[in-house]
Amino acid sequence: MKKFLKLLVIAMLALAVVGCAGGEDEPEPVEEEKLVIYSPNSDKLVEAVIPAFEAETGITVELISAGTGDCITRIDSEKENPQADVLWGGANLGTYNSYPDLWEEYVSPNDANLPEEYQSYNGFYSNYALDGSAALLLNLDVFEELGLNPDDFTGYNSLLWPELKGKIAMGDPTASSSAWAELSNMLLVMGEEPYDDAAWAWVEQFIAQLDGIIISSSSAIYKGTSAGEYAVGVSYEDPCVSLLVDGATNVKIVYPEEGAVWIPAAAAIVKGAPNMDNAKLFIDFLQSEAGQQAIATTTARPVITSITNTAPEILPFSEINVVVEDVVFVAEHKAEWQAKWLELITN
C-alpha cells in the first residue's frame, strides 16, 4: 500500500511539471491587433470616430496628434522604416503632389457610395468629410472694446477695417493645411477673376493687417480668439462651430459673403504601413454608413451629403454663399503660391 501511494505521488508530481512547462498543443499568445494613426484632427472628431472603429473591428488605435505639416514631416523622415499606418486628415492632391512616394494606393469599395465629385481622384487618398475652409470667428467682447458692431462684419473685406490691424489671428499657409485652404479660398473669391493679380493685391493688404502675427498652430487661432487674445480668428468651420456647441456665447461665426469653399478632408495610407490590412479597414470604416454617421455627430460635415449633422448650430448650405474650388488647379500652383505668400510676408 505504501509503495502504491509513493508511486501515485511521483506520478502526480510528474504531471504537475508537465502542466507548468506547457504542452505542444498550448496556443501561442495572440499579438494585439493595432493601427497607428498620425492626425491633425480635432478632439471631437477623434472621440467620435476612433472608439466606433475600435468597437466594430476590435483593432486598437494608437493616435499621434500633431499639425498636418508635422505629421507629414514625420512620415517623410520615417519612410525607410515606417511607423505610422495612416495619415488621417491633411491628405489631398497637394499633399500627394508634394510627397508622391509616401502613400499606398488603395480605393475602398465604399468609395463608390460617395457623391461622384468626392470619390477618390487618383487612388492615393480617400475623402471622408467636408471641411469649411472659410470660417471667420469673431470675439464679441473684443469687438465691443474696439467700438465695432459685429453685425456689420460680413466677410473678407471686413478684415481690412483699420481697427482690426494687429488683432487678427491667421495661420501659416506653408505649414498648416487649414491656413493653406484659407489662402486658396481668398485667392478664389477676392479678385476680379479667380486667382488673379487683383486677388493677390487683396492678400497683400490683408498681410499688412496681420501686423506680423502668424500663428503656428491652427488650434491656437480659435482658442486664442475665444479667449479674447484676438478680435478675429481666420479659421475653419469644425472647431469654430464646436465652440458654439459647447456653449460659448462670446463668439460669432461669419462665413464670407464673397464665398466659402468646402474642401473634402481625406485620409491616406502610408507606403509600407506596418499594419496594412488594418489601415485599409480604417479607410473602409471612414467611408462606411457607420463611419459617416459617427462623423455626423460632430461639427465636421459627412462627405456623403445625404447624411446630415445632428448639431443644430451647423448652418445649412442654403444659407451660405458656397463656391467651388478648382482642386487640380490649386494643387498644381501650391508651391508657387506658398512661395509668393512668404515673399509678401518677408517684404
CATH code (residue 117): 3.40.190.10
In a domain, 15, yes or no: no
Per-residue pLDDT of the chain (347 residues; tens, 9 = 90+): 444 334 333 444 343 434 444 444 544 544 579 999 999 888 889 999 999 999 999 999 999 999 888 999 999 999 999 999 999 998 888 889 889 999 999 999 999 999 998 999 899 999 999 988 899 999 999 999 999 999 999 999 999 999 999 999 999 999 888 899 999 999 999 999 999 999 999 999 999 999 999 998 888 999 999 999 999 999 999 889 989 999 999 999 999 999 999 988 999 999 999 999 999 999 999 999 999 999 999 988 999 988 989 989 999 888 999 998 988 899 899 999 999 999 999 98
Instruction: Clarify whether residues 145 and 248 are in a common domain.
Output: yes
Instruction: Clarify whether residues 201 and 146 are in a common domain.
Output: yes
Closest CA to 65 of 51, 44, 80: 44
In a domain, 8, yes or no: no
d(CA 300, CA 321): 18
In a domain, 157, yes or no: yes
pLDDT at residue 31, rounded to an integer: 57
Instruction: Clarify whether residues 251 and 222 are in a common domain.
Output: yes
Instruction: Clarify whether residues 213 and 142 are in a common domain.
Output: yes
Identify the domain containing residue 206 by its residue range: 135-258+334-346
Instruction: Clarify whether residues 218 and 341 are in a common domain.
Output: yes
Burial class (CB in 10 A: 0-12, 13-18, 19+), 164: buried
In a domain, 148, yes or no: yes
d(CA 325, CA 93): 13
Instruction: Clarify whether residues 92 and 219 are in a common domain.
Output: no
d(CA 228, CA 167): 10
pLDDT at residue 90, rounded to an integer: 85
Radius of gyration from C-alpha coordinates of the chain: 26
Instruction: Clarify whether residues 178 and 251 are in a common domain.
Output: yes
In a domain, 111, yes or no: yes
pLDDT at residue 71, rounded to an integer: 95
pLDDT at residue 327, rounded to an integer: 85
Instruction: Clarify whether residues 69 and 111 are in a common domain.
Output: yes
How many Å is the maximal CA-CA distance in the chain? 109
In a domain, 288, yes or no: yes
In a domain, 29, yes or no: no
Amino acid letter, 150: P
Instruction: Clarify whether residues 117 and 154 are in a common domain.
Output: no
d(CA 316, CA 186): 21
Instruction: Clarify whether residues 213 and 340 are in a common domain.
Output: yes
Burial class (CB in 10 A: 0-12, 13-18, 19+), 300: buried
d(CA 129, CA 118): 9
pLDDT at residue 150, rounded to an integer: 98
Instruction: Clarify whether residues 240 and 270 are in a common domain.
Output: no
The string of DSSP letters for 228-260 reads: TS-SEEEE-HHHHHHHHHTT--SEEEE--TT-E
Instruction: Clarify whether residues 338 and 213 are in a common domain.
Output: yes
- Return the percent helix, strand and coil in the chain, to nearest 5: 50, 15, 35
215: helix, coil or strand?
Answer: strand
In a domain, 18, yes or no: no
Q: How many domains does the chain have?
A: 2
